[in-house]
Amino acid sequence: MPCENEPVLKVTDVEFGYKDEKTLKGISFEINKGEFVALMGPNGSGKTTMMRCINRIMRIDGGRIEIDGQDVSGLTMQEISRICTTVPADTALDFSLTVRDYVSLGRSPYIKTIWWEDEEDERMIAEAMWDLGVANYANRRLQELSSGERARVLLAKGIVQTPKVLLVDEPSAHLDIKYKVQIMEILRELSRRGLTILIASHDINLLTRFCDRILLLSKGRILDYGAPKDVVTESSIEEVFDIKVKIVEEGGTIYVLPTGSTGYASGP
Amino acid sequence: MDDQTKLKDEVMGRIVGSKRIRRRALCIIAAGLASIVVLYILSLTLGAYRIPFEEALEQMVEIIVTGGNPEDMSGRIIYNLRMPRELAVIMVGAGLAVAGAVMQALIHNPLVDPYITGVSSGASLGVMIMTISGLVTTSITTMWMIPAAGIVGAVIAFTLTMVVAEAAGGKAMSYVLGGTVIGMGLSAGTTLIMSFNANHLANISSWMFGSFANIEWSETMLITIPVAVIIGIILFNARNLNTMLLGEDQAMYLGMDSRRFKRNMLILIAVLTAFCVSFCGVIGFIGLIVPHLCRMVVGGDNRVLLPTSMIVGPVVLMLADVFCRSFTVSELPIGAIISVIGVPFFVYLMVKEGKRYAM
C-alpha cells in the first residue's frame, strides 16, 4: 500500500502553451511513492501534454515539476531517463527487432559498455521479461506477437529502465478485455512493489477499480483529485465528458455506465 | 514452487546465454571475408590481359610483402590497375550498404537508400560541375576537390529531399517520391551540363552509369580512408541507432537527444555517400538490397546488422564487377548491372510491404 508523506512526483503551478490557448493551466498535484494514479479526462483535455511535460519531452512555460526531489528542468535527458520514463501505447514494428533486443534498449541510460550489454544488464533484462511473462518469446520478432503480448513487452522495457516514476500512455487501447485487465493487474502489482505510476487511459471502469487516486482533468485544469469514489460521480463525469451516466457499485468497486445519448441520432 | 524456480532458472539461463543471432552473424561475416579474398584474387585475373589465378595470387602476395612496384608486365597491371580498382569496389560496396542501413533506421523506412533519396544524384551533379570546370588535374593536390564537390551536392540534395518529404507529411512514400523528384531534377541538370560539354561526354557517360574502370591508387585512397573512418564512427553508434528505431519520442524517453543525433547521422551518411560515388559514379540500389537481405537473416539489431551489411555489400558489388568483366572485352557498366537486379527487388518490396508502410 502507498506510503504517505513521500511525494515522488510533485507538480506545482504548471502552465503550458500560449496565452490564449493554454493546454495546461495552473496544474498542481503530488503523487506519493508506490501510488497508482490515473489521469482521466476527455480527448484534448491535456493528458498527453501533461505526461510529455513530466518526462520533459516538452518544456513547461511556467511552474515546476520535481521527481524524487529534483527539478526536472535542471536535468539532462539522460538524468531524466534514469528517474522517469513513458510506456507508449504501441511501437514501430518495421525493423525486425526481437523481444529481447527491444527490452534491452531499456538499459540504454545506464550502459557502460560500447557494444553488448554486460552480464548484470543481461540478468535484469531476463528478469523483467520473466516477470511479465514474455521470457518465452525472447527471440521472437515484435511483429509476430499479439497486441496483448506486445503490451507486456513494452512494459518490460519500461521496467528495466528502473525509473522512480513510470508514465503509462493508453496501455490498453488495442487490447481485448482480458488483456486490459491483465495490464492493470501488472501495474497494480508494480506499484505495490514501490513503483510510482501515472496512467492515462479512457477505460474509466478499469481506472476506478485499480487506481489509488484519480486526477480528473478538463480543458487543461484539474477538476478534482482524490479516491475514485470521491472523484468519479454522476455529476463530475457528466460535466467533464458531456454525457449522462449511472454509477453502480459492485463488490466495493464503482462502475460507470453510459446511459445518456450524445444527441447525434435518435439511437437506442 | 520448486518446479517454477527450476523452470525460471532454465528460461533465464537460455536468455542470458543466448547468442544465436550473434553466432549466425559471425558465420556470415567469416564467410563474407573469405569470399572477399577469393573474389579479390579472381578479379585480379580478369580484364583484357588475362592472368592465371596462381600467378595473380603470387604477384599479390609479393606486392604486399615487398611493398609494391613490380618490374614485369603482369605485376604492373595487377599493382597499378587491378589492385586499387578492386579495393575501391570493396570500400564503395561497404560504404553504400552501411549508408543504406543507417538511412533506413533513421528515416524509419525500409525503402530508402542513398540512391532513392537523391543523394547520389546530388553528389553526381557536384562532381560533374567540378570535373568540367577544369580545376581538377590528375595530381593528388587538386583531386580532393572532386569528393568535396560531391559532398556539397549530396548534402544539398539530401536537405532538399528531407524538406520536401517532411512538408508532405513524412510518410514512407513521401521520402521515396521526394527523393525521386529531387533526383530527377538534379539528373536533368547533369544531362544539360553534359550536352553543353560534348567533349567530356565519353568520360562522363561511363561515370554516370557507374564504373570502376579508371580508378587508380590516388583515387582509391581518397575513397578508402574517409569511408573507413566514417564506417568506424557509425559502428561506434550502433546501439544509439537501435534506440532510433523506436522513433524520436521513445529515443528521448531513453535519454537520447534524438533530433540532434538524427541530424548529425544524416549529414554523416550524405558525406559517406559522396565519397562512394565521387570517383566511380552512381551505383544505385546496393544500399537497398544489402541491408534487406541481411535483415532477413540476422534481424534488425544494428550491432549485428551493420557489420554484416558492411561485409555483404562488398561481396555483392564484387560479384557484379566480376560479372561485368567476364563476358565482353569492353566491360559492362556496373551501375546498370546492379540496377537490373535492384529494380525488380524494389518492386517486390513495394508490393509485399507497401500496405504496411502506408504507401
Residue A244 within any structural domain of the chain = no
Count structural domains, chain B.
1
**Distances A21 to A126, A220, A239, B196 between C-alpha atoms, Å:** 46, 10, 21, 57
- Could you give the CA distance from residue B258 to residue A78 in angstroms, rounded to a whole number? 12
Residue of higher predicted confidence among B50 and B170: B50
Percent of chain A with pLDDT over 70: 95
pLDDT at A5 over 70: no
Please write the tens of the pLDDT for every residue from A60-98. Answer: 999 999 999 999 999 999 999 999 999 988 777 666 788
Considering only CB atoms, which chain B residues are within 8 Å of A125? 15
Measure the CA dihedral B27/B29/B30/B33, to 10°: 160
Mean model confidence pLDDT for chain A: 88
- Residue of chain B with shortest Cα separation from A167: B253
DSSP label at residue A141: B
Asked if residue A9 lies in contact with residue A199, where contact means CB atoms within 8 angstroms, the answer is: no
Residue B111 within any structural domain of the chain = yes
- Nearest chain A CA: its distance from B254 CA (Å): 5
CA A168, A172, A178, A179 torsion-angle sign = negative
DSSP label at residue A2: P
Which residue, among B230, B239, B305, B240, has the nearest Cα to B269 in the 3D structure? B230
Q: Note the pLDDT of residue B1.
A: 53
Considering only CB atoms, which chain B residues are within 8 Å of A91? 246-247, 250
Q: Which residue has the cell 564537390?
A: B149
Q: Name the band, by pLDDT with cuts 50, 70 and 90, for residue B359.
A: very low
- CB contact, 8 Å: A101 with chain B? yes
Task: For residue A176, give every residue at least 6 positions away whose Cβ sits within 8 Å of its Cβ, in sequence order, or none.
Answer: A148
pLDDT at A1 over 50: no
- Among the residue ranges A142-156, B93-107, B146-160, B165-179, the one predicted with the least confidence is B165-179
Chain-chain contact of A96 with B249 (C-beta, under 8 angstroms): no
- Partners of A196 in the β-ladder: A165
Mean model confidence pLDDT for chain B: 84
Chain A, chain B: beta-carbon pairs less than 8 Å apart: 107
- Nearest chain A CA: its distance from B237 CA (Å): 8
Q: Which of A55, A86, A94 is nearest residue B108 as measured by Cβ atoms?
A: A94
Let me know the angle formed at the C-alpha of B345 by B342 and B347, rounded to the nearest 5 degrees.
110
- CB contact, 8 Å: A94 with chain B? yes
Residue A104 within any structural domain of the chain = yes
Q: Note the pLDDT of residue B335.
A: 84
Please write the tens of the pLDDT for every residue from A173-225. Answer: 778 888 899 999 999 999 999 999 999 998 899 999 999 999 999 988 999 99
- Nearest chain A CA: its distance from B16 CA (Å): 6
- Residue of chain B with shortest Cα separation from A120: B16
For residue A263, report the phi and psi dihedrals to the nearest 5 degrees: 80, 10
- Partners of B93 in the β-ladder: none
Considering only CB atoms, which chain A residues are within 8 Å of B254? 81, 85, 105-106, 108-109, 161
Percent of chain B with pLDDT over 70: 91
- Nearest chain A CA: its distance from B132 CA (Å): 42
Which residue, among A215, A232, A147, A148, has the nearest Cα to A186 in the 3D structure? A148
Residue A149 within any structural domain of the chain = yes
Chain-chain contact of B255 with A108 (C-beta, under 8 angstroms): yes
H helix or E strand, kind and range, residue A221: strand A221-226
pTM: 0.85
Please write the tens of the pLDDT for every residue from B17-38. Answer: 556 677 888 888 899 999 999 9
Q: Note the pLDDT of residue A261.
A: 81
- Among the residue ranges A92-101, A160-169, B231-240, B296-305, the one predicted with the least confidence is A92-101
Chain-chain contact of A97 with B356 (C-beta, under 8 angstroms): no
- CB contact, 8 Å: A125 with chain B? yes
Full domain range(s) for residue A199: 7-231
DSSP label at residue B332: P
Residue A210 within any structural domain of the chain = yes
Residue A252 within any structural domain of the chain = no
Chain-chain contact of B356 with A129 (C-beta, under 8 angstroms): no
DSSP label at residue A24: E
Cβ count within 10 A of residue B174: 21
For residue B208, what is the domain's CATH number?
A: 1.10.3470.10
Considering only CB atoms, which chain B residues are within 8 Å of A101? 242, 299-301
CA B168, B173, B176, B181 torsion-angle sign = negative
Cβ count within 10 A of residue A5: 7
Count structural domains, chain A.
1
Residue A57 within any structural domain of the chain = yes
Chain-chain contact of A81 with B254 (C-beta, under 8 angstroms): yes
Considering only CB atoms, which chain B residues are within 8 Å of A53? none
Considering only CB atoms, which chain B residues are within 8 Å of A98? 21, 299, 301
- Residue of chain B with shortest Cα separation from A97: B300
Asked if residue B188 lies in contact with residue B146, where contact means CB atoms within 8 angstroms, the answer is: no
Asked if residue B244 lies in contact with residue B258, where contact means CB atoms within 8 angstroms, the answer is: yes
Amino acid letter at A220? G
Q: Which of A79, A96, A130 is nearest residue B8 as measured by Cβ atoms?
A: A130
Which residue, among B216, B220, B212, B219, has the nearest Cα to B331 in the 3D structure? B212
Chain-chain contact of B300 with A97 (C-beta, under 8 angstroms): yes
Chain-chain contact of A126 with B12 (C-beta, under 8 angstroms): yes
Per-residue pLDDT, averaged over B326-350, amounts to 79
Chain-chain contact of A97 with B255 (C-beta, under 8 angstroms): no
Residue A266 within any structural domain of the chain = no
Q: Which of A85, A114, A115 is nearest residue B253 as measured by Cβ atoms?
A: A85
C-alpha cell of residue B185 = 531534377
Q: Name the band, by pLDDT with cuts 50, 70 and 90, for residue A54.
A: very high
- Could you give the CA distance from residue A102 to residue A151 in angstroms, rounded to a whole number? 12
CA B81, B82, B84, B85 torsion-angle sign = positive
- Nearest chain B CA: its distance from A78 CA (Å): 4
Q: Note the pLDDT of residue B300.
A: 82
Chain-chain contact of A95 with B303 (C-beta, under 8 angstroms): no
Measure the CA dihedral A154/A155/A158/A163, to 10°: 170
Asked if residue B164 lies in contact with residue B181, where contact means CB atoms within 8 angstroms, the answer is: yes
Chain-chain contact of A109 with B8 (C-beta, under 8 angstroms): no
pLDDT at B201 over 70: no
Q: Note the pLDDT of residue A212.
A: 95
- Could you give the CA distance from residue A258 to residue B310 in angstroms, rounded to a whole number? 59
Q: Which of A86, A114, A129 is nearest residue B15 as measured by Cβ atoms?
A: A129
Q: Name the band, by pLDDT with cuts 50, 70 and 90, for residue B306.
A: very high
> What distance, in Å, lies between the first and last C-alpha atoms of chain A?
43
SS3 A213: strand
Full domain range(s) for residue B344: 81-357
Residue A262 within any structural domain of the chain = no
pLDDT at B59 over 50: yes
For residue A97, what is the domain's CATH number?
A: 3.40.50.300
Q: Note the pLDDT of residue B203.
A: 65
Q: Note the pLDDT of residue A2.
A: 46
Q: Note the pLDDT of residue B358.
A: 40
Please write the tens of the pLDDT for every residue from A93-139. Answer: 666 788 888 899 999 888 877 778 888 888 888 889 988 888 888 88
- Could you give the CA distance from residue B282 to residue B125 in angstroms, rounded to a whole number? 11
pLDDT at A55 over 50: yes
Q: Note the pLDDT of residue A50.
A: 93
C-alpha cell of residue B266 = 544524416
Amino acid letter at B26? L
Chain-chain contact of A108 with B256 (C-beta, under 8 angstroms): yes
- Could you give the CA distance from residue A131 to residue B210 in angstroms, rounded to a whole number? 54
- Could you give the CA distance from residue B51 to residue B55 in angstroms, rounded to a whole number? 7
